[in-house]
């Protein structure tokens, strides 16, 4: 148990900064607990810290830029004598010499994050000689158990159950940086879920790199896991993180429909609404397939189901008609919240070699147009709750939180609502997809 570990970091002040996806947040929660168990004082701000840990992302060129920016900030803040550690996807793929020049002392790749705190102890004790801990992920099917006892960054508890991806979309670098798919043993998932509930969490979000692959390597399934978690005493809300459209099977829809705690929101990445672009992306479905999947989900889970999505614009070969098809499908599928990204070639992916590149200025304009449509569609979805009283899980840092349908909500009152408490909001207006009103 973490409580039995030596206190080799006693008195050390450490800034932990998480970039990127929900899986990184889960891993950040573990790192916070591991560092604290070794005596460190973990902070949310870099000021006054003598060490920094950056949990990195490399999904896009912009993510790489933000990681480098965070490393430079960490180095400036901790000073020449402080230790800067970087783990995660950027750390797995980064050139070691570049990392050293940026100011990194400890570079920890994926499936080795459990070694970070011990390596940091050694650096504090023995000196700052650069050290790299990265994995050869080729064929690696190990599950790295990184349990968390409480969420460090959110009121909701993000529970990682799956790692890696076997799909290899043509534009995506993540399978090369995270490795092949591996599932967490169900018993370990259930144990952590109970600990999180005992710590006062009432909402759990299942996360993974390709969540729909859960259980295929262990003889279990996401269906079985949803049913087991739904029966846990004390769990009030259960969400799924990002789920590839083709993973939304009839059995899974039935399990979600039967669950008394499932929150009616699904994040289904679309990426493009054009069949030609989808084929070049190697997504495994057509535009009509995606529309049918969304329609079937609403038939089973109710017409108020919120479906959010990811949109990738400016992919090689995307012409004006292909982009128009994407906008058309966003409307047809009734997408709510949309995360829009312009294409950036990732070294080592199939799409890096594709011709027919879209001019960056055109891609930027398309991203802005798709994002504007996403905002309009989210408003159009949210207005159905006007005049209604909806439950909101308070975030605590502000007078607001999230509804079961994953709509942001805010209110005005004279006091601060306790984080983790479910309040009831009478929705009076909508602004940029956020419900606003007063507490009922």
**pLDDT for 230-259, tens place per residue?**
999 999 999 999 999 999 999 999 999 999
Q: Is the pLDDT of residue 362 over 90?
A: yes
H or E element, residue 43:
strand 41-43
Q: Which residue has the tokens 């790192």?
A: 31
Which DSSP string do the residues of 323-355 spell out, in sequence order?
Answer: HHHHHHHHHHTT--SEEEEE----TTSGGGG--
Q: Which pLDDT score is estimated for 4?
A: 53
pTM of the shown model: 0.93
Count of CB atoms within 10 A of residue 279's CB?
Answer: 15
Q: Tell me, what's the pLDDT at 27?
A: 93
Does residue 377 contact residue 338 with C-beta atoms inside 8 Å? yes
Host H or E run for residue 410: strand 408-411
Q: What is the pLDDT of residues 376-394, one digit of tens each?
A: 999 999 999 999 999 999 8
The H-or-E segment that residue 88 falls in is: strand 83-88
What is the Cα–Cα distance from 150 to 156, expressed in whole angstroms? 10
Distance, CA of 105 to CA of 93 (rounded, Å) = 16
Read off the pLDDT of residues 11-44 as tens digits, 9 standing for 90 and up: 899 999 999 998 999 999 999 999 999 999 999 8
Check: CB of residue 141 under 8 Å from CB of residue 182.
Answer: yes
Are 90 and 63 in contact by the 8 Å Cβ rule? The answer is yes
**Cα separation, 91 vs 108, whole angstroms:** 6
The tokens of 116 are what?
């970070």
């Amino acid at each position: 148990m973490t409580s039995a570990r030596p206190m080799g970091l006693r008195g050390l002040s450490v800034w932990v900064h998480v970039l990127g996806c929900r899986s990184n947040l889960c891993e950040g929660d573990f790192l916070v607990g591991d560092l604290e168990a070794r005596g460190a004082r973990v902070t949310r701000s870099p000021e006054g810290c003598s060490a920094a840990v950056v949990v990195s992302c490399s999904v896009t060129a912009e993510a790489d830029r933000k990681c480098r920016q965070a490393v430079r900030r960490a180095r400036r803040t901790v000073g020449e004598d402080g230790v800067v550690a970087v783990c995660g996807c950027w750390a797995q793929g980064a050139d070691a010499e570049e990392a050293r020049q940026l100011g990194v002392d400890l570079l920890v790749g994926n499936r080795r994050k459990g070694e970070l705190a011990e390596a940091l102890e050694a650096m504090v004790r023995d000196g700052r000689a650069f050290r790299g801990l990265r994995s050869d992920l080729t064929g690696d099917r190990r599950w790295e158990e990184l349990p968390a006892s409480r969420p460090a960054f959110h009121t909701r508890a993000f529970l990682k159950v799956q790692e890696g991806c076997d799909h290899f979309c043509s534009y995506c670098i993540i399978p090369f940086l995270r490795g092949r798919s591996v599932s967490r043993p169900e018993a370990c998932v259930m144990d952590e879920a109970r600990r999180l509930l005992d710590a006062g969490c009432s909402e759990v979000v299942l996360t993974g790199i390709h969540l729909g692959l859960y259980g295929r390597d262990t003889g279990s399934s996401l269906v079985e896991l949803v049913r087991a978690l739904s029966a846990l005493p004390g769990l009030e809300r259960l969400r799924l993180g990002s789920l590839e459209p083709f993973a939304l099977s009839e059995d899974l829809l039935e399990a979600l429909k039967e669950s008394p705690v499932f929150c009616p929101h699904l994040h289904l990445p679309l990426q493009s609404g054009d069949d030609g672009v989808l084929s070049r992306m190697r997504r495994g479905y057509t535009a009509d397939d995606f529309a049918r999947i969304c329609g079937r989900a609403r038939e089973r889970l109710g017409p108020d189901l919120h479906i959010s999505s990811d949109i990738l614009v400016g992919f090689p070969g995307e012409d004006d008609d292909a982009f128009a098809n994407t906008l058309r499908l966003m409307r047809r599928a009734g997408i709510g919240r949309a995360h829009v990204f312009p294409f950036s070639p990732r070294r080592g992916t199939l799409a890096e070699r594709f011709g027919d590149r879209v001019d960056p200025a055109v891609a930027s304009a398309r991203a802005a147009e798709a994002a504007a449509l996403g905002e309009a569609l989210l408003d159009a979805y949210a207005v159905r709750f006007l005049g209604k009283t909806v439950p909101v899980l308070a975030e605590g840092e502000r007078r607001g939180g999230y509804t079961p349908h994953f709509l942001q909500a805010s209110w005005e009152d004279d006091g601060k609502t306790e984080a983790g408490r479910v309040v009831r909001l009478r929705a009076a207006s909508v602004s940029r997809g956020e419900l606003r009103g007063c507490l009922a």
